Amino acid sequence: MIIPISWRTCLAGPRMRVVTCAAAACLVGLGAAAVPAGASAGSATGLFRSAAMRRFLASRHGNITAAVDDLTTGQEFLYRPGVHEETASIVKAAILATLLHRTQRRSLTASERATARGMIEASDNNDATRLWNEDGGSAGVGAFLRAAGLRQTTFAGPGLWGLTRTTPIDQIRLLRTIVLPNRLLRASARSYELGLMSHVIGMDYWGVSGGIPPGVPVALKDGWLPQPGIAWQINSIGEVRGNGEHYLIAVMTNGNGSERYGISTISGISRIIWRELAPIIAGPEVVVRGAVP
């Protein structure tokens, strides 16, 4: 269900432009399978309401939820906020961030560095399990995520890190912790994680890098998981910075008929966001503020 939105007026980012906003905290309880990809505009804001995006989403099968945080203006754009999806391998970004938080008073060992590199750059599951256990499993990772402000992320059984459930809004909160100065991660730790996310192996470099011009840095982590009876879970989160733009993006999908189909969906969304973000921000928009602390 959707609890009625409380509309108000607020200031959007450093431009101090007055825009109409919605209290995103009022959007809760959406079921993952309840709304098709081409959901109504009532569950979308800003650039997710553009004509190109609406046409694209209407053409896709499966379930989609997404969030974009423009760090240049402080605006957020949401699509079906509150929908929970399984993380698959995007949770590896949280596992590494937890490790870096735990070890801030010392350097990573050679073994930890090798394991972290395998987990992020090659998405190695054995490396992820090793660091997950070192972090203290769901208790350790959960404590870090709560400190980072994640409120919509829950864990499955012991060792089942890939079945963690989360929302794009929470993934934006995680990305902010990895990208922006904060009390949980030192600058060197944040630079280290972003460096690994910027050097993902070619076969895994897809999703929110879709449509981004060559030379524009993208730090990302993708996730994919075949689900019997539900088809593929395909997710992608990351930071895009270059050509005057700097934004965080998280897209999560399920019900994809194949891995390739889900990748194509996220890549198409990324392509439209990159193309339309600048002109959309330049004009009057309905945006959501306060979705992320």
Radius of gyration of the chain (CA): 18
Residue 184 pLDDT exceeds 50:
yes
Model confidence pLDDT, tens digit, residues 89-118 = 999 999 999 999 999 999 999 999 999 999
Which pLDDT value is given to residue 45?
Answer: 67
Which pLDDT value is given to residue 41?
Answer: 36
Quickly state the pLDDT bin for 47 (edges 50, 70, 90): confident
Nearest CA-CA partner of 94 in 230, 250, 207: 250
Q: For the ranges 20-34, 63-77, 246-260, which has the lowest average pLDDT?
A: 20-34
What one-letter code names the amino acid at 85?
Answer: E
Q: Report residue 184 CA to chain centroid gap.
A: 19
CATH T-level fold of 7-289: Beta-lactamase (3.40.710)
Which pLDDT value is given to residue 278?
Answer: 63
Quickly state the pLDDT bin for 163 (edges 50, 70, 90): very high
In terms of C-beta density within 10 A (0-12 exposed, 13-18 middle, 19 or more buried), how is residue 70 classed?
buried
Residue 200: Cβ within 10 Å count:
22
In the DSSP assignment, the letter for residue 283 is S
CA–CA distance, 213 with 240 (Å, rounded to integer): 11
Kindly give the residue spans of alpha helices, DSSP state H, lying in the chain. Answer: 51-58, 92-102, 110-121, 125-134, 137-147, 168-179, 187-197, 259-282
CA dist 130 → 111, 133, 134, 136 (Å) = 11, 5, 6, 10
Model confidence pLDDT, tens digit, residues 254-280 = 999 999 999 999 999 999 999 988 655
CA–CA distance, 47 with 276 (Å, rounded to integer): 7
Share of the chain above pLDDT 90, in %: 73
Model confidence pLDDT, tens digit, residues 195-238 = 999 999 999 999 999 999 999 999 999 999 998 776 999 999 99
Q: What is the mean pLDDT of residues 117-139?
A: 98
Which residues does residue 66 pair with via DSSP β-bridges, in sequence order? 79, 251
CA–CA distance, 85 with 14 (Å, rounded to integer): 33
Nearest CA-CA partner of 65 in 272, 233, 283, 213: 233
Which pLDDT value is given to residue 27?
Answer: 25
Which pLDDT value is given to residue 279?
Answer: 55
Place of tokens 């009625």: 4
Residue 173 pLDDT exceeds 50:
yes
CA–CA distance, 216 with 245 (Å, rounded to integer): 9
User: Which residue ranges make up each domain of the chain?
Assistant: 7-289
